[in-house]
Structure 1
Amino acid sequence: MPALPRRAWIALAASALLSACAGLGPGRTDAQPPIVFVHGNGDSAATWQTTLWRWESQGWPRARLHAVNFANPLARDDDTQAQAGRSGTAEQRDFLAAEVDRVLAATGARQVVLMANSRGGNAIRHCIQSGGCAGKVSHAILGGTPNHGVWANPGFRPNNEFNGAGPFLTALNAPKGPDGQLLPAGAVGVEVTPGLRWMTIRSDNNDKFAQPDGLWIGAKGTPTNVTAEGPALRGADNVVLPGRDHREVSYHAEAFAQAWRFVTGRAPASTAVQPEERVLLDGLATGITAGSPSNQPAPGARVSVYAVDAATGARLGAPLLDKTVAADGRWGPLATDARTALEFVLAVPGLATTHVYRAPFARSSAVVHLRPERLLPADAQAAAAVVNLSRPRGYFGLPRDVVLLDGAPAPGIAPGVAGVSSSKKLLAEPDRPVVAEFRSGPIAERIVGRGWPAKEGHVTLIELHE
């Protein structure tokens, strides 16, 4: 790949990094307010990648799009008890409040738009109700947020954040009058905090965390006391996207269209991602903290990036980038284009070396966050290579989707509610092409990776964009 001229490379770097934590840049009016995107439980800012691209493709300034990255994204088992590698509701609320203030100060805007997936909506509601965000937010969009719980049972994990009968959600959902004052118990008021516009986006019946049976919380056959309407809130515009799953109600093109209309008052001209000729990529190299997925930087991690043959996954020459990350965890920037398939190699000391295969990136992104895959000792002993297929912005659903891995239906995906976002295949031999194919309606992706020797501590991840 020819090297970019230095001046062009610097310009690309400045443009892409505007969407990261620094460099939000003032100078726009509130006709295009800053939008702060808040990821869900266990996830990272990277889940918003295609959503950011869609807003950019419709003319929203990259400098006004900011994706939050919580350090410890998994919720505690008991919100009242500290737990290593996990976060409580107060931590999430306070972190988001600081991010809102920082974005407002950097852009000079009066208010932001907040958009969340799943647990991120809890942080938004908490911040607006009691964390200082009231008055600083014009619109709040909650995709798949379990506003009435994943279950609602005072006797089962009573202090868990996702218990609709627990203290956290009970307080958020307490009925309120038009001025925000609390109404007596049993009164019918709004469940949202007044003073801004609210929208919820939910599935009709395909959200794994809004199901009447406890299958997805490990309690099959036990009623959850929650229905598909659980994410809806009195006082909000409640939108249903039929057939969409727990993540798609935030990250799918249909969710983008609803959010765009809610913020602007009109439909987007298109939901397509418009490719850029020159692409600049950057992100964080992160690890695992106390056994939980982490968004904290992993200093000392080594990141190598290769251009690969899209048909075979074979490397095309020397690495485009080879870097040991510093304390900030950032592995880039990397200049590329919208036609080149890539292999990212993440080596975090003490963890498996992860080889991540991605289709060409349509646009620049500063949230290409890399997190190591787990390699189970039993898998490393049983197989020559381990290949994982991941869909971070949606779940796999059968028969809705076609999901193939190495020429056969991807393992571990049962028909019914879309409930898993990854599939694993054990190979009898390493160093050969492995094809992953995914089709869901108009979405179609085909990515070819390669198996790497598991006994030497390597694992392959094929990651879908959509």
Structure 2
Amino acid sequence: MSIQNLQYKPVVFVHGNGDSAALWLTTVWRFESNGWPANLLHTMDVPYPLARDADDKPQAGRSSTAEHMQVLKDKVDAVLAQTGAKQVILIGNSRGGNAIRNYICNGGGAQRVSHAIIGGGTHHGVQAIPGLNDASEFSGAGLFLKQLNAPKNSQGDEICGPTQWMTIRSDNNDKYAQPDGLWIGMKGRATMVGFDGPELKGALNVVIPKIDHRETSFSPAAFEASYQFLTGHAPMHNITTQSQIELNGKVFGLGVNPLQADSGNFVNNLPLQGAKLSIYETDTHTGQRRGAAVHQSSISSDGHWGPFKANSRAAYEFELTADGYATTHIYRSPFARSSNIVHMRPERLAASDRTTQSLVIWTRPRGYFDANRDAMMLDGKTDIPGVAKGMSAGISSVRIRMDESPQRSVAAEFNGEQLKGLTWPASQGHITVLELTY
């Protein structure tokens, strides 16, 4: 099918468990760089993005499969009304694939979705052991996935409707599609799920070597496969740079539950009203501020912190302050293009962290750290805490405590992307975050 038939269809991106729309930033840039109109690229933030432990039991701060699907349905309805289009394309990662399948197969979305692309889908569960929390939406032996996976025709296809389906998976490096339960707290126990768990019978199933769970959606290789599927030809560009850019996004808070899901904290995607943000341009070699704040804002009920007219050649520090949180200094490499999904949230300091001079968090939201594959360095060291050779990729955030008292520069490098920031005194309630974009 030619791009002429598809380039004006709106796309809705559906994030995964515990995540937000911010993870689609580089994917949206790639679509824009290859001619897809920016006003047809839509993201959504699920208010409570974490799945319930048991889908049939209400749980504070978490959403059921029915609630998740309703958020998606409402978004599709709004996009169709706004654009006048008759159909959308849905692209989802991980848990987002559950909502997509549920909407198309059970929620009336079959005629409204022309194409569905799911990266790292938990289609056959993160485990499929009968009797082991069958009420979880991530149980391959549970009711939710069993009804979705029930054969839809004589060929045994697991897809439904006239929608064209594609899945993207890793060959063996997806933390949630492993024969061993290491990443789900069951080390040494068989999960009854194979590396091919993210595939769907009847779909076009694409396998990309060595990519991790998040890279099944957010990597250049995943974009290339998606674009090829939608248009019939390869993309011409990766990400093209704009000289003058405008940035915006939302500030979210953290939930009260200290347990973490996937990469950090019990989170919600609700505006953190009353938080304050200051943005500083920084020296790319030292992380030092280049003068006074270039943007300041107080977060209101809609959560937005911008817009901010920025320079695509400049690096920035985002300083977040809010009651009940640490003063969080987020360092980012230059932004290649405009974006309205530069979401962020302040961190909290544990009591034990306040005894150290400074705490540095290095995070990669759109992928994991893989010692077998990646060239990386943090504060001059190639040994990254918790990241060891010989294991599949499963950690996207690391913390290091530093005992030196004077403020100093701290550097991180990951496959060519370089970040520089400053340490800040943890005893005074400050945290440094080095956040990778790619």
Residue in structure 2 matched with residue 275 of structure 1 by the alignment: 241
Residue in structure 1 matched with residue 211 of structure 2 by the alignment: 244
| 1:344-359 matches, cutoff 5 A | 344-359=318-333
Residue in structure 2 matched with residue 58 of structure 1 by the alignment: 34
Superposed CA deviations along residues 118-145 of structure 1, whole A, max 9, x for unmatched, are: 0000000001111121200000000001
Query: For residues 235 and 194 of structure 1, what CA distance do their matches in structure 2 show?
Result: 11
Residue in structure 1 matched with residue 196 of structure 2 by the alignment: 229
Q: Which runs of 4+ in 1 moved over 6 A?
A: none
Q: 2:359 aligns with which of 365, 375, 386?
A: 386
Shift of 1:211: 0.2
- The answer on whether the counterparts of 1:275 and 1:363 sit within 8 Å (CA) in structure 2 is yes
Query: For residues 85 and 256 of structure 2, what CA distance do their matches in structure 1 show?
Result: 39
Superposed CA deviations along residues 365-419 of structure 1, whole A, max 9, x for unmatched, are: 00000112232211221x1100010010000111211221110122221222011
Query: For residues 267 and 109 of structure 1, what CA distance do their matches in structure 2 show?
Result: 25
Query: For residues 111 and 50 of structure 2, what CA distance do their matches in structure 1 show?
Result: 28
Asked whether 1:307 is paired with 2:305, we answer no
Amino acid at match of 1:201: I
- The answer on whether the counterparts of 1:287 and 1:348 sit within 8 Å (CA) in structure 2 is no
Residue in structure 1 matched with residue 260 of structure 2 by the alignment: none
Query: For residues 81 and 352 of structure 1, what CA distance do their matches in structure 2 show?
Result: 33
Q: Secondary structure at the match of 1:420?
A: coil
| 1:306-325 matches, cutoff 5 A | 306-325=280-299
Q: 2:268 aligns with which of 294, 307, 313?
A: 294
Query: For residues 220 and 134 of structure 1, what CA distance do their matches in structure 2 show?
Result: 39
Amino acid at match of 1:199: M
Query: For residues 32 and 350 of structure 1, what CA distance do their matches in structure 2 show?
Result: 45
Residue in structure 2 matched with residue 18 of structure 1 by the alignment: none
Query: For residues 73 and 114 of structure 2, what CA distance do their matches in structure 1 show?
Result: 14
Superposed CA deviations along residues 37-59 of structure 1, whole A, max 9, x for unmatched, are: 00111110000000000000011
- The answer on whether the counterparts of 1:412 and 1:424 sit within 8 Å (CA) in structure 2 is no
- The answer on whether the counterparts of 1:386 and 1:424 sit within 8 Å (CA) in structure 2 is yes
- The answer on whether the counterparts of 1:275 and 1:362 sit within 8 Å (CA) in structure 2 is yes
- The answer on whether the counterparts of 1:29 and 1:109 sit within 8 Å (CA) in structure 2 is no
Asked whether 1:423 is paired with 2:390, we answer no
Query: For residues 232 and 70 of structure 1, what CA distance do their matches in structure 2 show?
Result: 24
- The answer on whether the counterparts of 2:6 and 2:230 sit within 8 Å (CA) in structure 1 is no
Which sections of structure 2, spanning at least 5 residues, go unmatched?
258-265
Shift of 1:188: 4.8
Q: Secondary structure at the match of 2:28?
A: helix
- The answer on whether the counterparts of 1:84 and 1:290 sit within 8 Å (CA) in structure 2 is no
Q: 1:73 aligns with which of 49, 62, 74?
A: 49
| 1:6-405 matches, cutoff 5 A | 31-177=7-153, 188-270=155-237, 272-291=238-257, 292-381=266-355, 383-405=356-378
Amino acid at match of 1:33: K
Shift of 1:428: 1.0
- The answer on whether the counterparts of 1:285 and 1:369 sit within 8 Å (CA) in structure 2 is yes
Give the aligned CA root-mean-square deviation in angstroms: 1.2
Q: In 2 relative to 1, CA 343–374 (structure 1 residues): closer, same or farther, beyond 3 Å?
A: same
Q: Secondary structure at the match of 1:279?
A: strand
Shift of 1:32: 2.3
Which sections of structure 1, spanning at least 5 residues, go unmatched?
1-27, 178-186
- The answer on whether the counterparts of 1:300 and 1:325 sit within 8 Å (CA) in structure 2 is yes
Shift of 1:194: 2.5
Superposed CA deviations along residues 237-293 of structure 1, whole A, max 9, x for unmatched, are: 0000011000111000010011101111111112x2100010100000110123221
Aligned length: 424
Amino acid at match of 1:461: V
Amino acid at match of 1:407: G
- The answer on whether the counterparts of 1:33 and 1:111 sit within 8 Å (CA) in structure 2 is yes
Shift of 1:97: 0.3
Superposed CA deviations along residues 339-383 of structure 1, whole A, max 9, x for unmatched, are: 1100001112111121100001000000000112232211221x1
The percent of aligned pairs where both chains have the same amino acid is: 51
Residue in structure 2 matched with residue 463 of structure 1 by the alignment: 435
Shift of 1:30: 5.1
Query: For residues 249 and 433 of structure 1, what CA distance do their matches in structure 2 show?
Result: 33
Shift of 1:157: 1.4
Amino acid at match of 2:277: V
Residue in structure 2 matched with residue 8 of structure 1 by the alignment: none
Q: Secondary structure at the match of 2:82?
A: helix
Query: For residues 457 and 273 of structure 1, what CA distance do their matches in structure 2 show?
Result: 37
Query: For residues 27 and 106 of structure 2, what CA distance do their matches in structure 1 show?
Result: 28
Q: In 2 relative to 1, CA 235–364 (structure 1 residues): closer, same or farther, beyond 3 Å?
A: same
Normalized against structure 1, the TM-score is what? 0.89
Normalized against structure 2, the TM-score is what? 0.95
- The answer on whether the counterparts of 1:36 and 1:66 sit within 8 Å (CA) in structure 2 is yes
